[in-house]
Structure 1
Amino acid sequence: MNEQSVLVNGCRYFVRTAGTGPALLLLHGFTGSSRTWEPLMQALSGAFRMVAVDLLGHGQTDAPADAARYSTSETVGDLVTLMQGLGHDRFGVVGYSMGGRIALSLTMMAPVHVTRLFLESASPGLRTDAERADRVARDEALAAYIESAGIEAFVDRWEQTPLFATQASLPEAVRARQRAIRLSQRPRGLANSLRGIGTGAQPSWWGRLDAISAPVLLLTGALDTKFCAIARDMAANIPSALHITVDGAGHTVHLEQPEAYIEQVRQFFQEVEV
């Protein structure tokens, strides 16, 4: 596996690459990093060129002081420039949670570059102005808490979020690795990520999903009822979408049912050449 730091529009992005073949861009969730994808990269690098990115404010990528630098439009522009710089003008995209929202935004804003889209536990944003305003206020409160309390206190709180309750049954080594990734983050990076590209700050794509022409797979854990419902609604609005649920998993299918997750990624991207 190769690791490198790439300058993109004035910010340094940390990137891990492995394998040969059609390119797949891998986008982690909030508090994650490119390390999230190591099992997937190890399993599929024989068939694909895997590009895992530390998103802005996460991992070893820069964490700018200006929250506007984290915006959806800035992030999408960075990712397209990054992939083109690595020699990939067209590529498949895999995104989890926050990374799934970014992957969907990339597909909406720069569709010429995306061949196929694999979304795990993702959403198109919030439907109404009122919902978005409420979420922006809640994300700002959480961002301020991260900055004042520090990473360890935040991670302790974050791990108690009901969305992650199903992770309690994971093997201790898996939970420890996930916690280590979270603890490696920086307060400013996480706080400004919430402010710049949180669910309330991003555009809502609900009214434009029918414009997507690329094949889309929506993957959710059967125990994650909230995101199963979101995925059903998305599948009803995206002409080329398929929604698959995985038994015995909640929000983090890639952690809770890794073998099933890897097989879904493999099958989806091997259906046609990407």
Structure 2
Amino acid sequence: MQRSGIYQVDSTTNLHVVSASNPDSTKPTLVFLHFWGGSSGTYEATISHLSPNFHCVAVDFRGWGLSTGPQLAGSYSIHLLATDIETLILKLGIQDFILVGHSMGGKVAQLVAGRNLVNGLKGVVLIAPAPPTPFELPGDMKEQQLTAYSSVESAGFVARNVLSASKLPDETISSLVEDMLKGNKFAAAAWPSYAMGEDIVDQAIKIKMPVLVIGGGKDIVEPVERLRKEVLGRIQGAKLIVVEESGHLLPVEAPALVARLIRNFAASVVE
């Protein structure tokens, strides 16, 4: 059974959290961080395969889903998102946990793991993660990203033709589009404007716990070769598994397989 709640992490920010199952002292809690334009709901199908065996916690980042954030440009950086997650984990009293981060959420997960400010982090699963290296879009592409989630039509096009390599059901596309349009204007602008340009390499190279990277063989957003070079090339001991037929939206396109990979990783971490 899923439960949801709102948790205040600072004076301007309240995070919506969805949890499934109950904490189990013999297994780590799985904490899920979504992509730019997503929400806790991005992981619903994946979590349905995991919650019979694991306590799962999925978070809406500030300004996305049902979470709130400052009405201020510059307040949605990777560093601030990471601080929110560190604060939330302490508030929730989570002991041992694995971070699961997708795309932008993967960059946040790398920063949390590299800073290592919260006790109990046992491992990290990075799903089609944004690398720790700074990335600057050319001007025309930045403009395209800034307007990608500006309407039902544009968001639907991105979901079908850019983010996924599978023919997703109409109801799944509708759910993705709803999330994309729900982000406040400051959260939506942050990723293409400055967050993808943040350099967290100094923190990523400090990650010492086990890391699994899951890439999509048909991902045009974070291609496998970029993951090999810029993520595995900087995180010591990280392992890569490629889901050949999937695009960028692995938790939506291949939820059962992603869940199995997370389950196997969690078992290896607690052995």
TM-score by length of 2: 0.84
CA contact (8 A) 2:77 2:190 kept: no
**Number of the residue aligned with 1:45:** 51
Kept after mapping to 2: 8 A contact 1:4/1:14: yes
Select which of 241, 244, 255 maps to 2:241: 244
Q: What is the DSSP-based 3-state SS (H/G/I as helix, E as strand, rest coil) of the residue aligned with 1:199?
A: helix
What is the alpha-carbon distance in structure 1 between the residues aligned to residue 95 and residue 61 of structure 2? Answer: 19
Structure 1 Cα separation of the partners of residues 238 and 3 of structure 2:
33
Write the letter of the residue equivalent to 1:126.
T
246 and 140 in structure 1: CA distance in 2 versus 1, 3 angstrom threshold: closer
- Unpaired runs of 5+ residues, structure 1, are none
Which residue in the other structure is 2:165 paired with?
166
Q: Distance in 1 between matches of 2:203 and 2:62?
A: 26
- Work out whether 1:25 is the aligned partner of 2:31: yes
**One of 53, 76, 86 as aligned partner of 1:80:** 86
Superposed, which structure 2 residues align to 1:1-274 within 5 Å?
A: 1-10=2-11, 11-20=13-22, 21=24, 22-110=28-116, 112-113=118-119, 114-126=121-133, 132=135, 134-135=136-137, 141=143, 145=147, 150-152=150-152, 154-156=154-156, 158-159=158-159, 163-164=162-163, 166-167=165-166, 169-195=167-193, 198-200=195-197, 202-205=198-201, 209-224=204-219, 226-233=222-229, 234-273=231-270
Letter in 2 for 1:267: N
Q: Which has the higher helix share?
A: 1
Change (3 A) 1:239 1:126: closer
Task: Answer yes or no: is the 8 Å Cα contact 1:143–1:192 preserved in 2.
Answer: no
Inter-partner Cα distance in structure 1 for 2:192 and 2:70: 13
AA aligned opposite 2:184 = R
Per the TM alignment, residue 165 of structure 1 is displaced from its structure 2 partner at its CA by 5.2
Q: Do the aligned residues in 2 keep the contact of 1:4 with 1:16 (CA within 8 Å)?
A: yes
Alpha carbons of structure 1 residues 99 and 139: separation in structure 2 relative to 1, 3 Å: farther
Asked if structure 1 preserves the Cα contact closer than 8 Å seen for 2:6 and 2:14, the reply is yes
Q: Secondary structure at the residue paired with 2:212?
A: strand
Gaps spanning 5+ residues in structure 2: where? none
Deviation at 1:2, TM superposition (A): 0.7
Quickly say closer, same or farther: Cα 1:145–1:222, change in 2 above 3 A. closer
Q: Is the 8 A contact 1:65 1:192 kept in 2?
A: no
Name the amino acid aligned to 1:219.
I
Deviation of 1:95 (Å) = 0.6
Q: Evaluate the alpha carbon distance shift between residue 140 and residue 123 of structure 1 in structure 2; reply closer, same or farther with a 3 A threshold.
A: closer
Q: CA deviation at 1:115?
A: 1.3
Q: Deviations over 1:19-47 (max 9, x none)?
A: 12221110010110011111222221222
Give RMSD over aligned pairs: 2.7
